């Protein structure tokens, strides 16, 4: 069973004729924004975008943390004389 919002989204996708491998252009982003506004409303949309932005930020931070690691090994911290390893 489809909801009216999902039917509207599918109708716009069919009308725009978006190929599955192409990135949306300016007009398509406008339609996507309008559909999101209709589906979620003006009050929820800023919170959704804030959550999306923080999720992207966390993903990028995780990628940066994993850059130096090879084969799942964490980089070893060099110890100064007299320090003990915590592990």
Q: Give residue-wise pLDDT tens across range 33-66.
A: 888 888 888 888 888 889 989 999 999 999 888 8
Q: At which residue do the structure tokens 């940066």 appear?
A: 64
What b-and-e string marks burial along 15-45, b requiring 16 or more CB atoms within 10 Å of the CB? eeebeeeeeeeeeeeebbeebeeeeeeeeee
Segment holding 41, helix H or strand E: helix 26-66
Task: Take residue 70 and report the two structure tokens written for it.
Answer: 């090879």
pLDDT at residue 32, rounded to an integer: 87
Q: Is the pLDDT of residue 73 over 70?
A: no
pTM over 0.75: no
pLDDT at residue 82, rounded to an integer: 63
Q: What percent of the chain has pLDDT over 70?
A: 68
The Cα 19–Cα 24 span in angstroms is 9
For residue 22, the SS3 value is: coil
Q: Is the pLDDT of residue 1 over 60?
A: no
For residue 72, the SS3 value is: coil
């Amino acid at each position: 069973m489809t909801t009216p919002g999902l039917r509207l989204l599918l109708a716009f996708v069919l009308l725009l004729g978006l190929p599955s491998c192409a990135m949306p252009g300016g007009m398509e982003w406008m339609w996507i924004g309008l559909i999101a506004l209709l589906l979620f409303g003006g009050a929820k949309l800023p919170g959704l975008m804030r959550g999306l932005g923080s999720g992207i930020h966390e993903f990028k931070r995780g990628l940066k943390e994993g850059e130096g690691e090879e084969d799942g090994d964490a980089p070893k911290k060099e110890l100064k004389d007299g320090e003990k390893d915590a592990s």
